[in-house]
Amino acid sequence: MAFQWLQMRIQEEKDRRQRESSALERLPAALAELHTHLLTCLEEYILSFGPEAADIVLSPNRIKVTSREFREGRWHPAAKVEVVAVAEIPGFRIERGEYSMAVEVGVLPSNKLFYRDREQDKYLTMDEFTRRILDRALFPKLRD
């Protein structure tokens, strides 16, 4: 005799595993897409403050962004932020000094990606997501 609750939970778990598998498969492409958006933001920042003001590096599982300030005739590191692909989420962890934020990546039925702040349980647009990554790194002396 099969219990209805058990059949339902088995199906839910199968669906969850399929969603997680789809997200994991798309994670490298999601990181590359995010890099493209962050690069666009940094290009605009660099146009305003100079080519040494910031840089971005894409590695297989992470993106590193460094901003610099011009003081005393030299460029000095001002802030650094890293976006790390984390399979356990599946998604990204944004690390900036003591601050860390987990963002889940998922696949919608339309095969588009979504981003969700796990702590706040809030879906993020790409505009909000790029701001959360870059704002404090590029503008550390400005208030929110």
Helix (H) or strand (E) holding 44: helix 4-49
**Is the separation of the CB atoms in 137 and 67 below 8 Å?**
yes
| Structure token pair of residue 105 | 């990546």
Residue 72 lies in a domain: yes
Residue 128 lies in a domain: yes
Residue 43 lies in a domain: yes
Domain count, the chain: 1
Give the amino acid at 41.
C
So what's the pLDDT on residue 61? 94
CA pair distance 22, 39, nearest whole angstrom? 26
Residue 100 lies in a domain: yes
Spatial neighbors of 141 by CB under 8 A, at least 6 apart, are: none
Residue 62 lies in a domain: yes
Full domain range(s) for residue 26: 4-138
Which pTM was predicted?
0.85
**Weakly modelled stretches of the chain, pLDDT under 70:** 1, 144
**Is the separation of the CB atoms in 86 and 75 below 8 Å?**
no
So what's the pLDDT on residue 109? 82
So what's the pLDDT on residue 20? 81
Residue 144 lies in a domain: no
So what's the pLDDT on residue 26? 83
Spatial neighbors of 79 by CB under 8 A, at least 6 apart, are: 66, 67, 96, 97, 136, 137, 138, 140
Give the neighbor-by-neighbor strand order of the sheet with 54-58.
54-58, 62-71, 74-86, 91-96, 99-107, 113-117, 122-124
Residue 143 lies in a domain: no
